[in-house]
Structures are given as structure tokens and as C-alpha cells.
């Protein structure tokens, strides 16, 4: 098989959570360019509509679905809607996430549960649903979890994101564990660990620490609008067909120093 063919996703269906903006939209663009049919979900209908217009203008087939994944009872219905249109799901990108900043000793219960529900529980429940209904019966599939370099370490002085860091560490081991359980079904599960990217989630910290973050990076840059595209296509496609249970760090080298 040619290398180009290994990366080809023509005819496959990709469900991307948190796909209306930021990293999720970037990954949707990449998967669409390689031929995948797209289903993107988010909480806000107006942002989804803007993303749909954007992606369709690029020539990609797109289904949009309003869903709050922290309300777990909405997950089966979300999958129902995708299957009603596309009949299957071949690629699942668990990208939707949340964060909250507070000192550990003052961390609100509600904030802890919000972060854990969206960053840990929702990806499991959605993966379970897609696995049982699509990937296991089909004997193939790729699940990608957007984790973070924050899941590989603690926090620098002045940052108070204990729930986020904990949830992203859980996301990495979720990918490893599900990969070990579902490999015999032909399903691969991997995590992407971005560093700082220009996104709504990280905008406050980037504004506060921008020059310092650049100085910490061997590549002397913050992640941009193209920098996750290769990683998600690689992990979604047959180009990585012998790779599972791994965490791919995409951070400009910041985590190595």
C-alpha cells in the first residue's frame, strides 16, 4: 500500500466532540481534508452553525449535533443521530473538555465534578457507546483522546489546575487501558497531548505567560492552527495501524526541558 493510501480516510465517518472551535475544529478540518465524513458536536448551536459553514465551504460533508456531554443521558441519542445519517462511526475524537482554576485547598466541589465529568467520564461513556454499537461489530476503529502535557506533570508556580491535570492524567491511562482491552477487536486507542495552543481554553494563561511560554519551548513558539492536523490524521488512519495505547506529545518540545 502506498504511503498516501495509508493516510487516506475516504468514506470513513469521524465523530469529533468539541468540534465547533479551537483544537476540535482544527482536527475536523484535517480529517475532512483526508476524505472523512464529519460529525461534530458542541453545546452551542451558533458555534456549530459557524463551524458547519466553514467546513462545508472547504468541501467537506458535515453533520452538526448540539449536545452537552456532561449530561450523560444525552450520549446514546447523540450516537443515534450520527448512525441515522452515516450508518457507522469509524473514528472517534474525544476532544471536548473543561478546566477551572482554583487553589487545591479552596477548590469547589462543583468545579471538580464539572472537569471530571467532561474530561474523564464523558469520553468513557461515549467510547463505550460507539465501541459496542459500531467498532466492535465492525472489527475496526480508531479512538483518539485529547489529553494534555498537563497530564504528565504537576503545575508550575502560580497555576492552580489540579482537576484539569488530574483529569488529563486519567485520560492518558484511559487510552492505554481501553487500548489493551479492545485491541483484539481491531480497535486502536491513543491520546494526543498538546502543550499550549492558541485556543479559548488556554487564552488567559497565554496572555499572562506568553513570553515565558515561548522561552520554555525549544521550538520557540506556541501551537497554531495547523499543528495538530498531522497528528490526528496519523492516529486516525492506517498510517498508525500498529500503534495503540500511546500518548503523542505535541508541545514544541516544552516538556523535554
| Annotation marks residue 164 as catalytic | yes
**CA-to-CA dists, residue 250 to 5, 115, 178, 226, angstroms:** 24, 22, 22, 12
Please tell me what DSSP assigns to residue 104: G
Q: Which residues contact 223 (CB under 8 A, 6 or more apart)?
A: 194, 195, 196, 197, 198, 250, 251, 252
CB 151 within 8 A of CB 193: yes
CB 140 within 8 A of CB 188: no
Backbone angles phi, psi at 217, to 5 degrees: -100, 125
Distance CA 205, CA 183 (A): 38
CB 127 within 8 A of CB 92: yes
Which among 60, 86, 107, 164 is annotated as catalytic?
164
Residues acting as catalytic residues:
164
Amino acid at each position: 500500500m502506498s504511503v498516501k493510501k495509508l493516510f487516506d480516510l475516504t468514506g470513513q465517518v469521524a465523530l469529533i466532540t468539541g468540534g465547533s472551535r479551537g483544537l476540535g475544529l482544527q482536527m475536523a478540518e484535517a480529517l475532512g481534508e483526508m476524505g472523512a465524513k464529519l460529525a461534530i458536536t458542541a453545546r452551542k448551536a451558533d458555534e456549530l452553525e459557524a463551524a458547519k459553514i466553514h467546513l462545508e465551504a472547504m468541501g467537506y460533508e458535515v453533520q452538526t449535533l448540539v449536545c452537552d456531554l456532561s449530561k450523560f443521558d444525552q450520549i446514546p441519542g447523540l450516537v443515534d443521530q450520527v448512525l441515522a445519517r452515516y450508518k457507522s462511526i469509524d473514528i472517534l475524537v474525544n476532544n471536548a473538555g473543561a478546566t477551572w482554576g482554583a487553589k487545591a485547598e479552596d477548590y469547589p466541589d462543583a468545579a471538580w465534578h464539572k472537569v471530571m465529568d467532561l474530561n474523564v467520564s464523558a469520553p468513557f461513556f461515549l467510547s463505550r457507546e460507539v465501541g459496542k454499537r459500531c467498532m466492535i461489530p465492525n472489527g475496526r476503529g480508531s479512538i483518539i483522546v485529547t489529553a494534555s502535557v498537563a497530564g504528565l506533570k504537576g503545575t508550575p508556580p502560580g497555576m492552580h489546575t489540579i482537576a484539569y491535570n488530574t483529569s488529563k492524567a486519567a485520560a492518558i491511562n484511559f487510552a492505554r487501558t481501553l487500548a489493551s482491552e479492545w485491541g483484539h477487536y481491531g480497535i486502536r486507542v491513543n491520546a494526543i497531548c498538546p502543550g499550549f495552543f492558541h485556543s479559548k481554553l488556554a487564552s488567559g494563561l497565554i496572555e499572562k505567560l506568553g513570553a515565558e511560554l515561548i522561552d520554555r519551548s525549544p521550538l520557540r513558539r506556541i501551537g497554531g492552527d495547523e499543528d495538530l492536523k498531522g497528528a490526528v490524521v496519523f492516529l486516525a488512519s492506517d498510517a498508525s495501524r500498529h500503534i495503540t495505547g500511546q500518548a503523542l506529545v505535541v508541545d514544541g518540545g516544552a516538556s523535554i526541558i
